[in-house]
């Protein structure tokens, strides 16, 4: 079977060979060798984001941040106060109660909260010390050690446990304490 050779004669390469009834053919139908490689402008025009699109996204993110950040700004102090309150009323208090259950008394003011981390020396003796009751020495969210007194000034039958708060001064309104 013999195939006739195909002669390429399209309106782009050979306008004189164009039949009269094919004048309305779309030029995108031409697949000649000169159109096999796309030009640089058509290659980059459909990929990626434009600078305007990126700027719009950045503006939207900045607008959302401008709304959210002021609402969260005052929450840091509230969160620190809540953590200190939880330490005073629950976490350290529970460790002190366990110490009391094991030894029959709370650590003295001199032994302090370090008696919850390492076995204390001195009076009163911790004969049944089963600690550590805390992993580390407790510090408040502002980086200051919690204050402990036993017997307490305000809780005379127990202990006073408190944080001096953000201002680190005892007796001010921001103190977090285990008494009213």
- Confidence (pLDDT) at 76: 81
- The per-residue pLDDT of the chain, averaged, comes to 81
Average pLDDT over residues 139-160: 93
pLDDT band of 137, cuts 50, 70, 90: very high
* Same domain (yes/no): 19, 99: no
Asked whether residue 72 is domain-assigned, the answer is no
Q: How many domains does the chain have?
A: 2
Average confidence (pLDDT) over 26-54:
62
Average pLDDT over residues 24-36: 52
Range of the domain at 149: 77-177
Quickly state the pLDDT bin for 110 (edges 50, 70, 90). Answer: very high
- 101 with 22, same domain: the answer is no
Same domain, 111 and 167: yes
The model's pTM:
0.60
Say if 86 falls within a structural domain. yes
What is each CA distance from 37 to 41, 116, 168, in whole angstroms?
12, 78, 74
Residue 125 token pair? 């003796």
CA distance 176 to 91: 14
Cα–Cα dist 159/54, whole Å:
61
Same domain as 169, residue 81: yes
Of 11-15, 38-42, 121-125, 139-143, where does the model show the most confidence?
139-143
């Amino acid at each position: 079977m013999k195939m006739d050779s195909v002669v390429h004669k399209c309106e782009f390469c050979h306008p004189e060979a164009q039949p009269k009834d094919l004048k309305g053919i779309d030029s995108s139908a031409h697949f000649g060798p000169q159109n096999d490689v796309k030009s640089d402008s058509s290659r980059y025009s459909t990929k990626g984001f434009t600078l305007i699109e990126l700027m719009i996204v950045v503006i939207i993110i900045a607008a959302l941040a401008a709304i959210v950040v002021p609402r969260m700004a005052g929450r840091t102090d509230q969160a620190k106060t809540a953590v200190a309150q939880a330490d005073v009323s629950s976490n350290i208090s529970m460790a002190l109660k366990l110490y009391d259950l094991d030894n029959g008394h709370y650590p003295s003011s001199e032994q302090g909260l370090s008696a919850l981390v390492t076995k204390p020396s001195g009076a009163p003796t911790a004969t049944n010390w089963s600690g550590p009751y805390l992993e580390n020495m407790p510090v408040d969210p502002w980086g200051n050690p919690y204050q402990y007194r036993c017997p307490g000034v305000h809780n005379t039958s127990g202990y006073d446990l408190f944080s001096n708060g953000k201002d680190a001064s005892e007796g001010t309104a921001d103190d977090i304490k285990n008494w009213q």
